[in-house]
Structure 1
């Protein structure tokens, strides 16, 4: 079993020595050690199956059939050589891929299906030494067979023999069970807890902070699997002529290869409606969901703090609000860049680690004279944020574990919300940096919801006295509800603290996406599943001492991508220009379109399923309309804009 990870380690070394900017381990031994250590365990995602292969196809049947046992070593040898040939193929493919794309396997490999096959073969044989790679299988597999046979020649450990039959059967059963447990322990990277299984977010910072070693740590088959699981946006497969045709309904004109489509979304502000605030606080709450605010679930009291905030005279809110992404990262990326991520994982693209787009929110806030600061409750290495976020225009990026201290209580995602926000508030209150835009992103309202919520004030009998007794006894569900209550209260406490210190501040409160929040199985409503609004809508509220109800033009719908232009139209002088693909909430909004959903004032629909449902708050399950897809051309166009920017890196701009 150890032959496969050994070969993977040697291939990792060859990759480093071939492509690493700094090939010397001198003064970098800790980085090298963790790269190979973590890579070994992560590689067991595949390599552990060598152990399972030998156990299931050789050891167990060989124990019953002596003739087959005699062939056991041959079966092991052949099977392992086939697997090692696959590893060799994946490694050589990775070396070629990196040569052309300066990256390990990524979603681009799926584009090969539409490539000119003759051209690919020409490149393979004439540019990438294809013949030598094919001939290399022979010495490679010969050396591997020698190593395998040498290991198979080691002395065996005799299995103990017991006098009593029941003792022998019991011992044999323990051996088999132990072998199964050992397989899972190896398969999950030295743990039996699936949640702790190696993955990119958990790569040691000393490795991940080095862009190249952050790629070298991933075994080739693991990298290939991750790339295959990623979805390719069709926008990357289009030529410029096709893209121009798709974007035409949105742009109102055709574009050429030298055009930047974002240039056609430069808007002139209509004139400030409020005094320019000294501080702007953009609060992005993890899983801050509209369902918790709906009147149907008032007895749960999940988001009473937000309800009180929304009832204030100068707080405006919209109850039908779409997230820019169904998961955290696409929502964050879309909000910061001003273009939809559209499943292109912009945060993982080196292009966006060096430059950004003119529509980026923090970049545009800097041009208004604001210092820009990003605050995250977790580590910035999650989702390559340490590379991506600063380039969108932030002057400073703060990670909760850094400024809250190593002893600060935290989940696997980040520091507890109240600790994170209280410490951030304290630092902000003591700073004197002039006008500042603060973007704060929390983490606590996320599975497995195992914080000590009672310690932080959650008492189910006092907070939720009217809920069913059976629900109170469901400890897992109660932790989930407690997390929503706790996170909402922490957000609003931060707002109150900052408002006391900076009373002229502008506050925006929204969620990254919704969550499966409501325990329908306890008959809170006469249905066992959510209506669309409960599974898709996040929250939105905005506050400033000069905000008046008519300033949002009576809008009852909106989305993440309407927030940035709304800020601009509220504070920017008349005639000043800014970039936004989408209109401000200060003007009437007829519909909202994201890559996943569409919404009018009455109906909410999904693109993938083609199903739509009315937006009303209803205790009953609302009927659905099938094959109801609207604004499809607009959806294609907004995704195409993102694809165009990725395909045309020369159109990107420096954050400064």
Structure 2
């Protein structure tokens, strides 16, 4: 019983330890906001500050949990074999003092860091220590005296408070009249501990549908979003991002090879050491009346296979199929995502560069200037106001900073509206798309990229409320599908995404009849497991639908193929006047058969294959086409597209 008693008292000390540091994180968060927020506007932003404090407190449960877990292991658990409670108390207090010093130091360093970089600790902290040591040293000298003056008294006050807190009385293990009461109480403690630590682990919830650094941008203000991350979470973000970039693929290129790639893709024989010359193109003349508003919708996990005749019985893609069948629409089936994940698709659409695992959304260069092939900047040259709409949070994959740096004038996310409908990834598509349509104005022409989120685990849409179970779609599902609850949920979310995107298009088209819509998916979703043995086409292809005034079935030549880096030049060739100069890596789909590539696959005409594999398949949706792909030529073109993309992101515009 003595060991159980020590363990019980140690748990109480761990709980006090946990609460102390959780409160410290919250106090430092509030202090950071007060110090950094403009005094004259702080009262007008109390709701945003409350959101920042609320989600910050939830996120700091994780950071605090790590600290408390260390004392649980080295003090409470150790108390099962170490009999000296005084010795264990000293260890716990000493650990607390060390944590106080670290947390306070990080807090004081964070303030000048934010003033310098407009961010809490991020991946650039590694670049700073490697590349800008002298600048960092001289700039930090300004803050060192003040930091030392504040560090000592803050640490002293917090250490005294922690010591007193840990010296407050704890309860002995209760004595029960019957042994099974003792056993029941121990079971209760175990269940309580499990629930508590799960609650802590998931940031204030009992499932993975919780706040994390990747989705912490809960407000529409950068400062408040950065305040949500405590310094431990910010350092975790910095490390994770740095590791991703450290693993970026180096294609071992040299300037001569890059210039050769440029000549190959551009058809030019002229030598140049400037990427602009190889990306430069001249529009052939508009094929459509210039649309007032353009909407490029990138739908989460919107695969091609549900639109195929072989899966007509599911009827989960009836909305966009009805759009594709309209006279003013064209549906391209031979189309690939730029990457296997959402951010790969975003990078392809935004930058116009192929995916080569160099993550432009995290590169310092990408956050300071737009690439020559960036679509938004070129749409501005055509007279459009450029907006990026994301149903998730702006901190996800650095998407807000990245898109704004790449030419989008405004960024909107679920942080711009408060709604109870959503999950860890963002707000329900229906709610967000209604918000987008409500925010639209006819003040000036606009180009809008819309990225949805709902068709993604944890699949939290209330399908019953959405009416799914009352539809003929669900009622006609095969019995085997209905018995698989998880499959029903996945297919139901695809149906929901298709439904609300279609409703959005119809609403906006009625309000702005001369709008142009381009609809595609970001990648093939997890619902592909509905097919027991999918073909390459089913596993990798996504749809591309172009719909609007002047569009017709013949606007794209037969057997056209491509990928998301072809969307930008296609749009420009459809609407730009003859002679308009633009820059792109990919060719316009209006020119006929083009090569679509991503990390794993290629698509050329009606054929699809894997890189490095001599086997390939013919698309089941293709028209007659007896020409066979030249695998050698495909490899050369793929290497060229990847090589130019890598060099542009990692080296810049100059080839030397």
TM-score range, shorter chain: 0.7 to 0.9
CA change 1:366–1:417 in 2 (3 A) is same
Q: Which moved more, 1:155-164 or 1:51-60?
A: 51-60
Q: Which moved more, 1:350-359 or 1:500-509?
A: 350-359
SS at 1:538 equivalent: coil
2-structure distance, mates of 1:351, 1:158: 60
The 8 Å contact of residues 595 and 639 in structure 1, kept in 2 or not, is answered as: no
Q: CA deviation at 1:146?
A: 4.9
**Aligned-residue offset at 1:222:** 1.6
Greater Cα offset, 169-178 or 308-317: 308-317
Classify 1:317/1:612 alpha carbon distance in 2 versus 1 (closer, same or farther; 3 Å): farther
Shift of 1:289: 0.9
Q: Distance in 2 between matches of 1:40 and 1:426?
A: 33
- Matched residue SS, 1:444: coil
Contact 2:217 2:393 (8 Å CA) reproduced: no
Distance 2:447 2:112 in 1: 44
| Alpha-carbon distance in 1 for matches of 2:99, 2:619 | 56
Q: CA offsets per residue over residues 225-277 of structure 1, 9 Å max, x none?
A: 22222245479999xx9774564344347776xx5x34542211122333334
Match of residue 621 from structure 1? none
- Structure 2 counterparts to residues 57-68 of structure 1, below 5 A: 57-60=74-77, 62=79, 64-65=80-81, 67-68=83-84
Note if 1:188 corresponds to 2:199.
Answer: no
- CA distance in structure 1 between the aligned counterparts of 2:439 and 2:116, rounded to whole angstroms: 46
What RMSD over aligned residues (CA atoms) do the two structures have, in Å? Answer: 4.8
TM-score (norm 2): 0.76
- Equivalent-residue separation in structure 1 for 2:392 and 2:144 (angstroms): 48
Summarize the alignment of residues 82-231 of structure 1 with structure 2, pairs less than 5 Å apart. Answer: 83-84=99-100, 87=103, 103-109=119-125, 115=130, 146-205=160-219, 209=221, 211-230=222-241, 231=243
Q: Partner residue of 1:559?
A: 563
Contact 2:519-2:544 at 8 Å conserved across structures: yes
Matched with 1:74 is: 90
Asked if 1:509 corresponds to 2:519, the answer is yes
SS at match of 1:552: coil
Call closer, same or farther: CA 1:108–1:394 in 2, change over 3 Å: closer
Any residues of structure 2 matched to 1:267-346 within 5 Å, and which?
A: 267-339=281-353
Quote the residue 2:480 is aligned against.
Answer: 470
Q: Give, in angstroms, the shift of residue 558 of structure 1.
A: 0.8
Matched, 1:586 2:586: no
Other-structure match for 1:622:
none
Instruction: Choose the corresponding residue for 2:547, options 538, 543, 546.
Output: 543
Query: Using a 3 Å threshold, how does the CA distance of structure 1 residues 330 and 10 change in structure 2: closer, same or farther?
Result: same
Q: For residues 93-113 of structure 1, give each alpha carbon's deviation from its aligned partner in whole angstroms, at most 9, with x where no partner exists.
A: 767866875643333455589
In the alignment, is residue 481 of structure 1 matched against residue 491 of structure 2? yes
Aligned 8 A contact 1:269 1:573 in 2: yes
Q: Does 1:605 align with 2:601?
A: no
1:222 and 1:43 map into 2 onto residues whose CA distance is 8
* Distance change >3 Å, CA 587–CA 85, structure 1 → 2: same
Contact 1:247 1:638 in 2 (8 A): no
Q: Which consecutive residues of structure 2, in runs of 5 or more, have no partner in the other structure?
A: 1-16, 264-269, 621-630
Q: Distance in 2 between matches of 1:408 and 1:49?
A: 29
Over residues 472-527 of structure 1, what are the superposed CA-to-partner deviations in whole Å (9 max), with x where a residue is unaligned?
1222321211121232233334444555666654332111222111344xxx54x3
Relative to structure 1, the CA distance from residue 416 to residue 73 in structure 2 (aligned partners, 3 Å threshold; closer, same or farther) is closer
Gaps of 5+ in 1: 619-624, 649-656
| Cα distance, 1:37–1:413 mapped onto 2, change above 3 Å | closer
Write the deviation string for residues 545-585 of structure 1: whole angstroms up to 9, x where unpaired.
64455542334421111112112222323222222222101
Say if 1:55 and 1:432 are closer, same or farther in 2 by CA, change over 3 A. Answer: closer
SS in 2 for 1:284: strand
TM-score, normalising length: structure 1: 0.76
Aligned 8 A contact 2:216 2:229 in 1: no
Output aligned runs, 1:328-407, within 5 Å.
328-339=342-353, 356-372=370-386, 374-377=388-391, 389=403
Between the two proteins, the alignment pairs up a number of residues equal to: 614
